[in-house]
Structure 1
Amino acid sequence: MASLKKYRVDSKFKLAQVSPGDTPFLEGNEAAQVAEIDALAAELDEMQDLLHAEGRRKLLLVLQGMDTSGKDGTVRWVFSRTSPLGVRVTAFKAPSDDERAHDYLWRCHAVVPRTGEIAVWNRSHYEDVLVPVVEGWIDKAEAKRRYAQINDFERLLVETGTVVVKCMLHIDKDEQRERLQARIDTPGKQWKFSMGDLEVRTKWNAYQEAYDKALRATSTDHAPWYAIPANHKRHRNLMIAQLLMKTLRQMKLKAPPADPALKGMIIK
């Protein structure tokens, strides 16, 4: 069994030390890998039922990554067997006028998971320490303040019953090129392509540096980051599914005790 330890971000972490093409969690042939993902997805559904039944805690999965890194695909595969009533997905786009009129964490706090729920954020509050840094909209001092504010925000969530799992889906520039080209070449996928994707791509190195700084500054004991090698889609899905199952098992979820009033009851 591969270890997640190597991919947990620490204070000295750099994305360059993790190969996006790594596949340590893939074993067996393609059919076996798909079967394993499906089995983990089914078990995840069972664990979500327990999370809901326990009614005390909740889980937040944060997915970040460059364009085409597979955030949508991760949600589609990892939660393929989970009841939609137990998982809520929020995709963060460019902030609206109303969102910009508030502090940058306002829109995130509004969609934190409810008790017994798994919330998945496709992009997140980390956009506010990536895009503004690369574009030069905030200086180093402001970025540092935001790192501290994010750590405090996540500590608040953890101290009020939320388990936070953060995954950076790590692909390389060549893989992104192939995926962008596939969108252009496939009529049914062209809607996913934006000319703005090409503008962001010209700033690839700046974004890698911004990710390095943000990941190091905000990977904490209460809300650690994991760098997920994501060039291989099945590997990405399998690694995140295993990380989620490990997290849920460590929560030692238990259904509430049986109701004595129901003992021996027979429905006629």
Structure 2
Amino acid sequence: MKENRIQDLKNYIVANERASLEDLCNLFNVSKNTMRRDINELESTGIIKKVYGGIVLNDKKTTEPFESREEKNISAKQIIAKLASNFVQDGDIIYIDSGTTTMHMMPHLAEVRNLTIITNNLNVIMSSLPYPNLNILCTGGVLFRTTNSFVDMDAVNSLKKYNISKAFMASTGISIAKGITNSSSFEYDIKKHMVENCDTVIVLADNTKLGKVSLTTYCDLKDIHVFITNEKPGIEFVEFFDSNNIKLITPP
């Protein structure tokens, strides 16, 4: 019975990518201690990863390490981040997503007064240290080192407390058919919540990500308000942005 239960647990988490301890106990009709032992055994295989309050599918193999992503197209990312910073005003409450482009916004926010930044990204937090005018709030949780971001089953609940006016979102793939996609399923809930509950959604992505699709879609392309990239995209994207009232921002 134990072997069958662990196999069923494996199948469930592969299909659903995440689950809370309480939900798993109810689903398999076992005590928390029994489920914790099953989780420990399954974790030893490398299939899942424990986070606060539950488990997630271990997608390290599908997510390129932060350090190697950070080295790619740095100049383009810096240009995009500078353009994005023009959308930040005094007194704003904004969300800066986890990514290798969004973190470059920080030096350009040094003169913004009374700015509150909510983030789940370690690099954004560290980059803010030289700028005392920036009020930083972290979603908290367990540090997922592959993306340098904090993940937590309750992160979305913590975000519900805040009135966030603008969300600066990252992505590993931009597709008209599949939308805004990301390679890490760990951050899916946070990204999806921000898009659905923020006044203005601003996506930052260099041109190499256009036409690509990653593991999970956290929103449709038509659901964003501003798209910022380093060069003018192909006509298909330009026409899509125009027909869906999405502001396209590129360098002059």
Length-normalised TM-score, structure 1 = 0.29
Q: Where is the strand percentage greater, Structure 1 or Structure 2? A: 2
Length-normalised TM-score, structure 2 = 0.30
Greater relative CO (CA pairs within 8 A, separation 6+): 1
Q: Where is the helix percentage greater, Structure 1 or Structure 2? A: 1
